[in-house]
Structure 1
């Protein structure tokens, strides 16, 4: 399957004052004496797919974790729908991650004791959805991601590409506004990387989710609408991009 940008239209609704759904301004973050972010910033529009590029240790994953509310920056502002995440309680930030954010990680991070179907249904169950309804919706997403036939298998029985498709289904099953994907193809070969990216892009566009994608792979980044480069903890602006 060739790696190419999807052509489906994206929603253009504005949320924050600048029209951004998610925005970071002048972020600084250090771990001990080691600086990870030194003034990074970006904006993500509703329905947009943005790739964050950078070498290992450049700060790109730390930037994603700050934007997702997983860690707090030492200074600077992260806002979602115009609301400063730094002013929210831990409980409210956790609720946002459960209901409005979706996550895809490099190795999927599926729960090994659960079936593929149960893994995808898990975010819905945590949000109080009844088991039958949660599993019905999970099965629909597994079918969309072309792994419906593996619903009863456990993660250890799936190939790397199948596991990542299940992880994408889990990220999208709650119909989040933003999907954070941290090196989602980093553990896959080139063929499966292309397949996973094509499915992630198409599924996100179909659901209307914005995607913030961290990657070091230029071929994967080429799938995005826009590319941002992180160097030494700073965002150098936009590179490339799609019309």
Structure 2
């Protein structure tokens, strides 16, 4: 079409489409931004999860160590331990000791006794210890650990032994030790735990769902006659222990 005479000829204009005006975003940048966003969210999730794990593990550890304790009840039970008889049957206490300082710091007992008894008939002596304390430390402190530092070593695997009374059937671990240097039999040792019921030769008492544990441990010298005098003592003493804790 020809321009009309007398009218100015319009200047041609260059128009660009929206697609032409907008610079396309590269796929690499989109992926980069998306990855950065994912990494940021992942960090938040990781930090939150770590915080939760820390809080939960701390609470579980405190519970297993028996830090949430009824102090009044623990005190009454500790008094019952100290009231155990010093003489019964053929057995008489000949001396009493305090729990070793290092052991006391480790076990944090609410109550404990360490006594030496002698049998008037056989002349045999037995060291008897009983403690009430937080489940965690009381459960993991065993003779296999403490007697190694006294020049003794287990001469075989421990085995469970039953002690029966009129009311209950108890169990205790029995273990023989030998002198590290001479290799000769040196000690008969028994130990067991209770949560307030029958004593047990337990594998993992730390995971019992109770605040505190009782533990008994006996050691008697090996006299070479094959007799476990500690087992004799515990058989005679167990009915009295039942009155203390059951």
Q: TM-score range by the shorter chain?
A: under 0.3
TM-score, reference length from structure 1: 0.26
Rg comparison, structure with higher value: 2
**Which structure's relative contact order is higher, taking Cα pairs within 8 Å and 6+ residues apart?**
1
